[in-house]
Structure 1
Amino acid sequence: MLRKLSLALAVSCATNGMAWAAEPPLSVRTDLVSVYQEAVNNNADLAAARADYGARKEVVPQARAGLLPNLSAGAEMMNSRTKIDHPSITANRSGNSWQATLAQPIFRADRWFQLQAAEAVNEQAALELSATEQNLILQSAENYFAVLRAQDTLASTKAEEAAFKRQLDQSNERFDVGLSDKTDVLQSQASYDTARANRIVAQRQVDDAFEALVTLTNRDYNSVQGIVHTLPVQVPTPNDAKAWVETAAKQNLNLQATNYAVNAAEETLRQRKAGHAPTVDAVARYQKGDNDSLGFSNPNLTGQNYRGDVEQTSIGLQLNIPIYSGGLTSSQVREAYQRLSQSEQQRESLRRQVVENTRNLHRAVNTDVEQVQARKQSIISNQSALEATEIGYQVGTRNIVDVLDAQRQLYTSVRDYNNTRYDYILDNLRLKQAAGTLSPQDLNDLGRYLKPDYNPDKDFLPPDLAKAAQANFERP
């Protein structure tokens, strides 16, 4: 009797009977945490975000400088000639002088509000950097599991190609002994050719996934550790969408950053309004030079031509009252009002988006939990359906198209199962990111379920299903 085209047979043919690329040595396999650490050290986007934060936090000392003393010094060399409208009367003056001025703001409301705005901008920048760092955790996981997803897809595609190759061989054997017509051979050949083309595409997708890791970390990888099928698949804790939304409203990093953006806009509005307020500065000035350069005059020295060195020292308060500046201050106030409204609306838009994402991801994780079990059962059901279809084909109640369709359904269910597993892992991480609780510890927790000797060609199926399929195949 012809052997059944069971999943175990296809896997055996794909891993042993065909010359695929050899597995790299165990020592070079990379784990998830190592990929993340390399990303932290080498990711260009993170480095750019850190540089941006380093630049933006300088607004605080710059704003504070407007409230601190200002000391300046200068010197002057002067040579002037005065000619009176008389041929014999001319006057020449020349001299050198230097001066130092110390100014201390006493009342500068605009600068005080500018400092408050700068501190809010600094907090906003720090939170945005933290959000970028947190996003790198998710990005590392997404790229890592994209490799595993692509490898498992390639493994199932190899097994599918092997199954169709086996079907093609059987069709040729049946045709040679007159048990089937040429149509069966052509149908089997078409399915095999399609599976071969799909395997080539799947191989390219594996290479693309590894290339994305290179872009993320600036390191080359040729093998990563796989996730075991015993990874617990559990609903979120707590399994309450409202609780997750409340946590996100308090801890989502991007949402917290927009709160500081609104604070900065409010302080900037106060700063612009303060442009109408008077200012008071304490000013101390010291000058020294000859009388020609300083233009020193003293009623007690009338009639005397004094040309010696002169020192002048002054200290006092300067009051400045803005009256009219061409409408500049009023325009700046109107602009600040609009900027404040803009930042408030952007915060509200982000809040709604965070709420939506959190609820959607909570539902997604619960759906993934149910789907993992359903997809696993689907493999068993499709395996049984394939075996029944093969028996029907052998006794003449089914045709070759039914067998080929059953095989496609089987390998589609295998790929759906693995995709759902990876969706479950990533949706969990995305939910935690939306809630603002995602941390490197989540990657460490996942690392406990990585298999150092993971071989996609053998391990893309759950061990219990693989053993069941193998036992079924070995039955007489």
Structure 2
Amino acid sequence: MHIVARAFCLLFAAHAWAADAEPELPPSSVSASEYAVDLMQLYREARLEDPRVLSAYARAQAGADRQREAFGVLLPQLSANASLNRTNRDVETYTESFNNERYALTLTQHLYNKGAWESYQKYRKLARQGEFESMDAQAEAAVDLAQRYFVALASDDELQLVRAELRATRKNLEQVEALYEKKLAMVTDVLDLRARVDALVAQEVEAENQVRVSREELSAIIGRPVKERLSRVREDVELQVPGEAMEVWIERALASNPALKARESALAAADAAVREGRGGHYPSLSLNLSAQRSDVGYDNTLAPRSDSYVASLGVQVPIFSGGSTSARVRALHSERLSSEQQVESTRREVVKETTSAYLTAQSSIERIRASRQALESAEKSSVAAQRGFQYGVVNSVDVLTSVQNEYKARRDLLKAQYDFITNLLTLNRWAGQMSEQSIENVNVWLARSEEARALERNTAE
């Protein structure tokens, strides 16, 4: 099976004359590390450092605390108060000073309060919404990390491919210049090759810049500079799509997608909010228990100490509030209709994105097969063109074209592999199956530290 490392090795085996080419330019500072890092390592770091993940977790925690706050209103409310008074009384016949004390303990419990109960139900659903939004944010961040990882890896590949093509083209240029000095080649061949060398030098500068840019995009998630080598796709794995039909994936997505679940929880919260608003028309019933000890009499006079215990039922019946309660219910109902449409919009998006990711993953597999066959043909064509040039059957432009075709086939193969992996993760995300295990399943396709270093050495030879 031809993959990244084998493809590079075959290239240099085909061009044996590249062994004495110019020394490779020193590597960029962004890949100067002695070891390789894989996707799983970066994923674990990102979970602790990605602001999107941390923010989503904080919002979910806030939702859970608001739910607990709303539940506390339904529980007994116990309060205590005490007062100590110093009184001076001055009347016509006498003057007196005395102290008064009062202590009270009061317990209030809702027996029936529709508004308070529905408020708790609303915040319970909002807490669930926060949980699902946190899950969706983590899944989205994981896919984004994978996409940036493979963009950075593709940038590394592009730089190495450009440098390898530059070495091969310079070697061709040296050969053609030597033939031109002997009057065995045309000046147009020399000029074409020089133009190609200049273009590749410009591409190398751009590729070096893209390597730095892609690493900065990774650093923005991880929260530190990412200078390690990135583990490449192993050469002993075969990329395959899951065997389930597309309809199964769509059904799974509609049942498990966290973004859709969050919208459904928001709709349930809106329903509870409507019921809470209508609760303003309902009476409420509460139980009140109180105990009091006091020696305060009428007009703060001193009285004998007394203990009193009171149990009462309080009924509150709303009669007219100026129409504000009805207006609030109508506004909440409109917000509920808006939430319902958001659920439908998210449902359609989930179906669309799941279908797109599934079809793209399927086509990526076909692209990988076609790109591998194209690379094999381009390798053979390049070798044949090089030999034909040595025997004078083809000119240098034909050799240059065959080299360009070979490197284009290599780029297409690498891109197809990376596109397949990112689309597979995207499919898992929309199907609600994105987890640490999903990243681990992809990570096993990447070389471990020692293997990654070996692949890096092979591509640099």
Same-fold call, TM > 0.5? yes
The aligned amino acid for 2:247 is: K
The superposition leaves residues 114-145 of structure 1 with CA deviations (integer Å, 9 ceiling, x where unpaired) of: 11122211222122222233334333432332
The aligned amino acid for 1:453 is: E
SS of corresponding position for 1:194: helix
Task: State which of 227, 230, 235 in structure 1 corresponds to 2:233.
Answer: 227
CA contact (8 A) 1:11 1:458 kept: no
Match in the other structure for 2:162 = 157
Q: Within 5 Å, which residues of 2 pair with 1:200-279?
A: 200-219=205-224, 220-238=226-244, 240-279=245-284
CA distance in 1, matches of 2:20, 2:276: 71
Q: Does 1:325 align with 2:332?
A: no
Give how far 1:346 is off: 0.8
Q: Does 1:118 align with 2:123?
A: yes
Q: Within 5 Å, which residues of 2 pair with 1:419-434?
A: 419-434=415-430
Q: Within 5 Å, which residues of 2 pair with 1:46-445?
A: 46-76=53-83, 97-219=102-224, 220-238=226-244, 240-292=245-297, 295=299, 307-387=303-383, 389=385, 400-445=396-441
Q: Does 1:40 align with 2:52?
A: no
CA distance in 2, matches of 1:405, 1:426: 31
CA contact (8 A) 1:389 1:403 kept: yes
The aligned amino acid for 1:236 is: P
Give how far 1:414 is off: 1.0
Identity level (%): 26
Give how far 1:265 is off: 1.0
The superposition leaves residues 28-86 of structure 1 with CA deviations (integer Å, 9 ceiling, x where unpaired) of: 22222222222223333222222221111012211111211112233456789999xxx
Give how far 1:277 is off: 0.2
Change (3 A) 1:459 1:421: farther
CA distance in 1, matches of 2:273, 2:95: 55
CA distance in 2, matches of 1:288, 1:12: 105
Bigger Rg over Cα: 1
Change (3 A) 1:22 1:205: closer
The aligned amino acid for 1:231 is: V
CA contact (8 A) 1:99 1:286 kept: yes
Match in the other structure for 1:474 = none
- TM-score after normalising by structure 2: 0.85
CA distance in 1, matches of 2:395, 2:207: 29
CA contact (8 A) 1:248 1:354 kept: yes
CA distance in 1, matches of 2:149, 2:56: 22
The aligned amino acid for 2:228 is: N
The superposition leaves residues 433-469 of structure 1 with CA deviations (integer Å, 9 ceiling, x where unpaired) of: 11112332233333333323335666569xxxx9xxx
CA contact (8 A) 1:29 1:223 kept: yes
CA distance in 2, matches of 1:355, 1:443: 23
Give how far 1:242 is off: 1.0
The aligned amino acid for 1:367 is: S
CA contact (8 A) 1:13 1:159 kept: no
Q: How many residues align?
A: 445
| Structure 2 gap segments, 5+ residues each | 1-9
CA contact (8 A) 1:286 1:311 kept: yes
CA distance in 1, matches of 2:412, 2:19: 19
SS of corresponding position for 2:312: strand
SS of corresponding position for 1:314: strand
| Structure 1 gap segments, 5+ residues each | 297-304, 467-476
Change (3 A) 1:370 1:306: closer
The aligned amino acid for 1:113 is: E
SS of corresponding position for 1:227: coil
CA contact (8 A) 2:290 2:310 kept: yes
SS of corresponding position for 1:226: coil
Give how far 1:323 is off: 1.3
CA contact (8 A) 1:236 1:362 kept: no
CA distance in 1, matches of 2:132, 2:145: 20
Change (3 A) 1:460 1:12: farther
RMSD (Å), alpha carbons:
3.5
Change (3 A) 1:91 1:258: farther
CA distance in 2, matches of 1:349, 1:40: 29
SS of corresponding position for 1:58: helix
The superposition leaves residues 235-280 of structure 1 with CA deviations (integer Å, 9 ceiling, x where unpaired) of: 3311x21111111111112112222111111111111111110011
Change (3 A) 1:92 1:257: farther
CA distance in 2, matches of 1:53, 1:269: 23
Match in the other structure for 2:451 = 453
Change (3 A) 1:345 1:36: same
Instruction: After superposing the two structures, state which structure 1 stretch, 434-443 or 400-409, moved more.
Output: 400-409
CA contact (8 A) 2:33 2:227 kept: no
CA distance in 1, matches of 2:20, 2:421: 27
- TM-score after normalising by structure 1: 0.82
The superposition leaves residues 209-250 of structure 1 with CA deviations (integer Å, 9 ceiling, x where unpaired) of: 333333322344321221123321223311x21111111111
Give how far 1:313 is off: 3.5
SS of corresponding position for 1:453: helix
Give how far 1:195 is off: 0.7
CA contact (8 A) 1:150 1:205 kept: yes
SS of corresponding position for 2:365: helix
